[in-house]
Amino acid sequence: MVTEEAGIEVDPKQLGVLELADLELPYIDLEEAPAARNKLVLYDTEYTYLRSFPIKGHSAIMPGVVEEQIAAGKRILIAERNERYYVYVA
């Protein structure tokens, strides 16, 4: 049986900013979350997991991936958990 995984509601008060290359991206620390999720919900917008990057060394590839998504009209939300940045798109 396959079930739809519920997303985590992101409290806007917990949002920060991640500076990445020339971008400032919305950021949330999920270290205290019980488990990583495929979906995050912010302001009634559902963000779906795209991929993750190790925090150490993320600047080699992550900016290009994020810029490509933005160019395609996607909105970005970054989450941090377990030494990784998780990229979510809406």
In this predicted structure, what is the pLDDT of residue 35?
Answer: 67
Neighbouring CB atoms inside 10 A of 74's CB total 16
In this predicted structure, what is the pLDDT of residue 2?
Answer: 40
In this predicted structure, what is the pLDDT of residue 6?
Answer: 66
Angle value at C-alpha 38, between 34 and 39, nearest 5 degrees: 90
Residues 6+ apart with CB under 8 A from 28: 10, 14, 15, 16, 40, 77, 78, 79, 80
Report how far residue 54's alpha carbon sits from residue 33's, in angstroms, rounded to the nearest whole number.
Answer: 18
In this predicted structure, what is the pLDDT of residue 36?
Answer: 62
In order of 47, 73, 75, the CA distances from 38 in angstroms are: 8, 20, 16
H or E stretch at 69: helix 62-71
43: left (phi over 0), alpha (psi -120 to 50) or beta: left
In this predicted structure, what is the pLDDT of residue 57?
Answer: 81
Tens place of pLDDT for every residue, the chain, 90 residues?
A: 444 566 788 889 999 999 998 899 999 998 877 666 789 999 989 999 999 999 998 888 999 999 999 999 999 999 999 899 999 999
Q: Domain boundaries in the chain?
A: 8-89
Q: Record the pTM.
A: 0.88
